[in-house]
Structure 1
Amino acid sequence: MAKKSLIQREKKRQKLEQKYHLIRQSLKKKIRSKLSPLSLSEKTKMREKLQSLPRNSAPTRLHRRCFLTGRPRANYRDFGLSGHVLREMVYECLLPGATRSSW
């Protein structure tokens, strides 16, 4: 089980990312657009605005965590579970369509 403080920190990052998503996206579009003739100084101002946003609002700082245990590593996107929890659930036949392998 992950520490509750780390899980809460991750939730806070998710809220910040959702809050600033549209602002961040629009600034990036303006910087990248080739059609609008922005001068170099205007682009640097746009970049400064982008950098002035909170660091934790960047989507690259988010981690996927296990739905049950909160473990940040070895997560399967399809199930939202970490590897060892997924394996235990397959052994107990709690996941439909998943079969355990044996040879």
Structure 2
Amino acid sequence: MAKKSKIARNNQRQVIVDRYAAKRLELKKALVDENGTDESREAARKGLQKLPRDASPVRLRSRDAIDGRPRGMLTKFGVSRVRFRDMAHRGELPGITKSSW
């Protein structure tokens, strides 16, 4: 189990990323626009700099949805490899069976 403060911090960052996602995308498009002027690109760069640091999705950490484990994530299922194995053995994941050959 991860520290509750780490889980809470990551959840707060997710809220901030969601809040600024549209504005961030708009500014990023203005930066790479070939038809834009140098002034508009400069303004877009300044606008990106004014956004909160936590508005960048790079600062998010993918964590297990159940216990917050930060490593060994299976993003398709939203759980860590340890939790996935336990859930698969108990039959809680439909269509997942243990391999045997």
When normalised by structure 1's length, the TM-score is 0.88
| Offset, 1:95 | 1.3
Name the counterpart of 1:56.
Answer: 54
Name the counterpart of 1:68.
Answer: 66
Q: Give me the CA root mean square deviation.
A: 1.4
Can you list the C-alpha shifts for 1:29-48, whole angstroms capped at 9, x where unaligned?
11111123x12x44223212
| Offset, 1:102 | 4.1
**Aligned positions of 1:16-35 closer than 5 A:** 16-35=16-35
| Offset, 1:52 | 1.6
Unaligned residue ranges in structure 2 (runs of 5+):
none
Identity of aligned residues (%): 40
Q: Could you tell me which amino acid in structure 2 is paired with residue 87 of structure 1?
A: R
When normalised by structure 2's length, the TM-score is 0.90
Unaligned residue ranges in structure 1 (runs of 5+):
none
Can you list the C-alpha shifts for 1:43-102, whole angstroms capped at 9, x where unaligned?
223212201211111011112111111111111112111001111111122211111134
